[in-house]
Amino acid sequence: MGERKQISVVGVPMDLGQIRRGVDMGPSAMRYAGLIEELKGLGFKVKDYGDLKINRFSSGTIREQNLKNLHEIIKTSEELCRELDEILSEGGFPLVLGGDHSIGIGSIAGISKHYKELGVIWYDAHVDLNTAETSPSGNIHGMSLAINLGLGHPLLTEIGGYAPKVKPENIVIIGARSIDEGERELISKKGIKIFTMHEIDRKGMTQVMEETIQYLSSRTDGVHLSLDLDAIDPVDAPGVGTPVLGGVTYRESHLAMEMLAEAAVITSAEFVEVNPILDNKNKTAIIATELIASLLGKKLI
């Protein structure tokens, strides 16, 4: 990040992109874990914009075209898009606290318009590349990356008034280990760079991050980190809605964040899918807070 920018924190307590309640408490859990104090302790000026108000079932539409809670998610995404557009216009570093991963629709919509070639690191056990046609569940949090590529319901892909938000060659997925058939085909067809757990095990996190940083630095003018806490092994991070065994370790994740901090490539970030109801003594929110601190330059010595 270079100079000590203002960190602009926005909470999005949304749980409409999936079916397990509790992830709407994620922003509160991260603040309770001492996030704001941690950032101030690193020397940042912090402006906390509070949480967006989520209007549950305002339209009465529960499911449309295999898309659960479509209209509520559109409304929240548009609000988040406007908020982040404004934050970037004022020169702040946007830090978004989720909520489920459907918030990545509104966040990237607001951020991408400020860059010619936005890069995205999707740090997640899932690749979120389903569409209404391929989704087994109809949960929009599993479609957010596809929507940012311009694939999906036009009311979602056109949020912010433009599409696509990101080019496939500007994306790197890290930590994936649960990929649906339709998503696998899309990764291959679009040539999206992906480091599954197989690659992380084989190459080690250092090489994965070196390759990621080199790949994105050469082709982008800003990089958004979208980190789903379920990328981390559920032994370390139990408080997530869709845990998948065999994930990235706590220490590997810190190393990844530290390397991104050293490279100074990240221009915005979101941390999503913290679910305190499924957690153990707020452990997952504490890990999220620690990872944010590492991303923003906190070092061991």
Give tens-digit pLDDT for 71-109.
999 999 999 999 999 999 999 999 999 999 999 999 999
Active site residue 230: yes
Active site residue 126: yes
pLDDT at 66: 81
Spatial separation of the C-alpha atoms in residues 32 and 78, rounded to whole Å:
27
Kindly indicate the confidence band of residue 3, based on its pLDDT and cuts at 50, 70 and 90. low
Q: Which of 24, 38, 79, 101 is catalytic?
A: 101
- Do residues 119 and 171 lie in contact, with contact meaning Cβ atoms separated by under 8 Å? yes
Active site residue 198: no
Reported pTM: 0.96
Kindly indicate the confidence band of residue 170, based on its pLDDT and cuts at 50, 70 and 90. very high
Strands (DSSP E) found in the chain? 6-12, 45-51, 63-64, 67-68, 93-98, 118-123, 171-176, 193-196, 222-228, 266-272
Q: Domain 6-295 is classified in which CATH homologous superfamily? A: Ureohydrolase domain (3.40.800.10)
> Is the confidence at residue 251, as pLDDT, over 60?
yes
Task: Indicate the SS3 state at residue 272.
Answer: strand
Q: Which of 15, 71, 100, 141 is catalytic?
A: 141
Active site residue 224: no
Structure tokens at 209: 């991050």
Spatial separation of the C-alpha atoms in residues 293 and 33, rounded to whole Å:
12
Q: Which residue has the higher pLDDT, 56 or 214?
A: 214
Spatial separation of the C-alpha atoms in residues 247 and 198, rounded to whole Å:
10
* pLDDT digits 0-9 by tens, 135-144: 999 999 999 9
> Is the confidence at residue 63, as pLDDT, over 90?
no
The CA-atom distances, in angstroms, between 220 and each of 52, 172, 193 are 29, 12, 14
> Is the confidence at residue 59, as pLDDT, over 50?
no
The CA-atom distances, in angstroms, between 251 and each of 214, 215, 232, 255 are 22, 23, 10, 6
> Is the confidence at residue 55, as pLDDT, over 90?
no
Active site residue 279: no
- Do residues 233 and 200 lie in contact, with contact meaning Cβ atoms separated by under 8 Å? no
